[in-house]
Structure 1
């Protein structure tokens, strides 16, 4: 999980250490995310909204509920919520293919611990077209969609 944590944060660990602010007023959104994550299929929620409306807060709230094991479905108990920071993933990737390599390493980390983490991709819209620098280049959004993670 080294590459994943190089470019992301373990929100569950942060919640365990008391490093996250209490979440207030997001119970409906958090409940909906838990319902979607608990489904057998089509279990990838996508939180959409303008910057600052609270998408990250919902992910943090989920991590806090998992740590407290409070009112969460059995399927989510013991999971880790990892927030992938797209800024960190993209930053400094100046060489051709460097971003794609980083993303591939992150996906490999996710696959190694399949079923143990919930990956929250903050600013996911930055993935569309990211890495598409040439005719054979990787479009990060398409890569994630087809990578079976």
Structure 2
């Protein structure tokens, strides 16, 4: 009978270890999970990542492009972004002024202005997971998918 009780003790020890390991989830993952399910953007239209130069195959190029380019598409707006060493440079189409929130998974939020031609600059560029939220005078708010550089 001794072996039977040893098995239960081992099972309880394994369960205790599993519970402790679950408590050790990195804070950045917890923050990213909370940000992904925040209700403050429930009325925004989601802009899907339609193009990413880091993912698309290079048809005729022998080397990678110097700049990374991404395009997010929603029914009312397209957000095009180029990634430089220190900034995100972008344009909204159709062009009109507005405001762009840069939301990082760690909770940091910055606001940049979009000019009348749709141009914007985000400096310094975001680190880790981030998403963009566009608000313009007409049309719904547009929220990009979470993206990482």
**Range of TM-score over shorter length:** under 0.3
What TM-score comes out, normalization by structure 1 length? 0.24
* Larger strand percent: 2
With CA pairs under 8 Å and 6+ residues apart, which has the higher RCO, 1 or 2?
1
* Larger helix percent: 1
